[in-house]
C-alpha cells in the first residue's frame, strides 16, 4: 500500500491548493493579462542582437525571427474578425496540409511564411502598430463566434474560439517569450501575479485532463520558481504521489517542447511516493498553448 502524502508529510513545503478550485480567467483579466504579456514580449525583442534573430529554438522548424513572425500575425488576427477568419480558414492552407501538416501547424506556418522577407524591425512595428486594435478586437469579437468550438490536433476535446482568444493566445505568447529567452540565453522576467496566474490557468486545464486519466487517484504537483505553486490534482482522495519540477520546465513539458521521457532522463522531474502514478501524470502533462 502506498502511503498517503499530506501537507504535514516530509514532502510538504508550501501547503498544496486544489487545482480544481483555480478560478477560470475572468473577463476583467483578459486585456490586462494580454497587455502586460505583449509589453514584456516587446521589451525582450528590443534587447535582441542581429545574431539572436537567427538562432534556433525549441520549436524545431522555427528561428527566433520565425516565432516573432508568428506572434505578429496573432496580434493582427485579433484586430478584426475577418482577419482572424482568414488566418484560420483551412481552405487557405491546403498546400501545407498536403505536406502532412495538421491544421494548427499549417495555419502557424502560413503566418511565418507570409512574413519570411520581413526585417525584425518590420515585425516589431506590426506588433506595436496593431496592439491597441488587437485589445479592442478581443472585446468586440462576435458573441456567437465565441461559442464555436474547434478541435486542436494532439489535445483532448474541443476548445471554444472565446477561450482561444481570451486565454490561449496570451499563453502562447508567454510560452514563445520563454522560447526566445532560452534560445538567446536571457533570463525570463517573471512575477507571481502575472506569470503565476498564467501558470495557474495551465494547471487548471491540466487538472481537468489528469482527472480523466488517473482513475480517481490524486497527486501533488509542486512547481518551483517565481511563477510556481503547489497543487493537488486528480481525484478527491488523499494524494499518494508528488511530482516536482521547475515551473519553466513544467511549461516546456506541458506545451510539448520536451517529452515526458526527456524530462525524466534529463533529471528535470522528481517523483515521490507512488512512482507509477507520478509517471502516469508526467506522461499526460500536455495542454493547449
Domains of the chain: 17-22+194-283 (3.30.1050.10), 27-184 (1.20.120.450)
Across the chain, what does the average pLDDT equal? 93
**Could you read off the pLDDT of 56-75 as tens digits, one per residue?**
999 989 999 999 999 999 99
Residue in this structure with the C-alpha cell 534573430, named with its chain if needed: 53
The whole-angstrom separation of Cα 156 and Cα 209 is 8
pLDDT-based confidence at residue 235 (cuts at 50, 70, 90): confident
Is pLDDT above 90 for 174?
yes
- Phi/psi for 202 (5° steps) reads -65, -45
Exposed, middle or buried: residue 156 (CB in 10 Å: 0-12, 13-18, 19+)?
middle
CB 187 within 8 A of CB 239: no
198-to-23, 34, 223 alpha-carbon distances in Å: 12, 10, 13
Q: What average pLDDT does range 122-129 have in this prediction?
A: 99
Residue with cell 499518494: 240
Beta bridge partners of 232: 18, 220
Strand partners, 222: 230, 244
pLDDT at 9: 36
Query: Of the candidates 275, 250, 248, 274, which has an alpha carbon nearest to the alpha carbon of residue 260?
Result: 250
| pLDDT for the residue 13 | 58
Euclidean distance between CA atoms 162 and 129, whole angstroms? 23
CB-CB contact of 145 with 163 (8 Å) = no
| Confidence bin at 155 (pLDDT 50/70/90) | confident
State pTM to two decimals: 0.93
Question: Which DSSP symbol is given to 15?
Answer: P
Cell 512575477, residue?
Answer: 191
Mean pLDDT of 138-167: 89
| Confidence at 3, pLDDT banded by 50, 70, 90 | very low
The pLDDT, as a whole number, for residue 11 is 41
pLDDT given at position 7: 34
**For residue 126, what pLDDT is reported?**
98
Cα 137 from Cα 78, distance rounded (Å)? 5
Calpha distance 99→13 (Å, rounded): 49
Q: What pLDDT, in 10s, does the model give residues 179-222?
A: 999 999 999 999 999 999 999 999 999 999 999 999 999 999 99
Average pLDDT over residues 136-157: 88
Q: Which parts of 55-183 are beta strand (E)?
A: 149-151, 158-160
Residue 268 has pLDDT above 90, yes or no: yes
- Residues 278-287 have a mean pLDDT of 97
Q: Cα–Cα distance between 126 and 69 in angstroms, integer?
A: 9
How large is the average pLDDT for residues 161-168? 96
CA–CA distance, 203 with 209 (Å, rounded to integer): 10
The arrangement of strands across the sheet holding 270-273 comes to 17-18, 229-234, 218-224, 241-246, 270-273
CB distance 92 to 86 below 8 Å: yes
Amino acid at each position: 500500500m502506498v502511503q498517503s502524502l499530506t501537507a504535514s508529510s516530509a514532502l510538504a513545503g508550501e501547503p498544496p491548493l486544489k487545482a480544481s478550485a483555480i478560478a477560470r480567467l475572468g473577463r476583467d483579466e483578459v486585456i490586462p493579462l494580454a497587455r502586460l504579456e505583449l509589453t514584456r514580449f516587446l521589451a525582450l525583442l528590443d534587447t535582441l542582437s542581429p545574431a539572436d534573430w537567427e538562432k534556433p529554438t525549441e520549436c524545431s522548424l522555427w528561428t527566433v525571427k520565425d516565432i516573432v513572425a508568428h506572434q505578429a500575425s496573432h496580434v493582427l488576427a485579433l484586430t478584426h474578425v475577418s482577419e482572424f477568419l482568414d488566418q484560420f480558414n483551412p481552405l487557405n492552407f491546403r498546400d501545407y496540409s498536403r505536406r502532412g501538416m495538421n491544421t494548427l501547424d499549417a495555419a502557424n506556418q502560413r503566418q511565418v511564411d507570409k512574413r519570411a522577407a520581413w526585417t525584425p524591425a518590420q515585425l516589431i512595428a506590426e506588433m506595436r502598430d496593431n496592439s491597441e486594435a488587437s485589445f479592442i478586437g478581443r472585446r468586440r469579437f462576435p458573441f456567437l463566434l465565441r461559442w464555436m468550438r474547434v478541435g486542436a490536433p494532439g489535445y483532448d476535446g474541443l476548445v471554444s474560439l472565446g477561450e482561444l482568444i481570451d486565454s490561449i493566445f496570451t499563453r502562447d505568447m508567454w510560452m514563445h517569450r520563454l522560447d526566445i529567452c532560452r534560445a538567446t540565453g536571457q533570463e525570463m522576467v517573471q512575477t507571481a501575479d502575472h506569470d503565476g496566474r498564467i501558470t495557474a490557468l495551465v494547471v487548471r486545464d491540466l487538472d481537468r485532463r489528469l482527472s480523466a486519466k488517473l482513475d480517481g487517484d490524486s497527486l501533488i504537483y509542486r512547481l518551483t520558481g517565481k511563477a510556481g505553486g503547489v497543487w493537488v490534482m486528480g481525484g478527491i482522495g488523499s494524494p499518494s504521489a508528488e511530482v516536482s519540477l521547475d515551473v519553466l520546465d513544467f511549461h516546456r513539458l506541458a506545451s510539448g517542447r520536451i517529452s515526458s521521457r526527456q524530462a525524466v532522463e534529463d533529471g528535470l522531474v522528481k517523483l515521490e511516493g507512488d512512482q507509477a502514478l507520478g509517471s502516469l501524470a508526467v506522461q499526460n502533462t500536455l495542454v493547449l498553448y
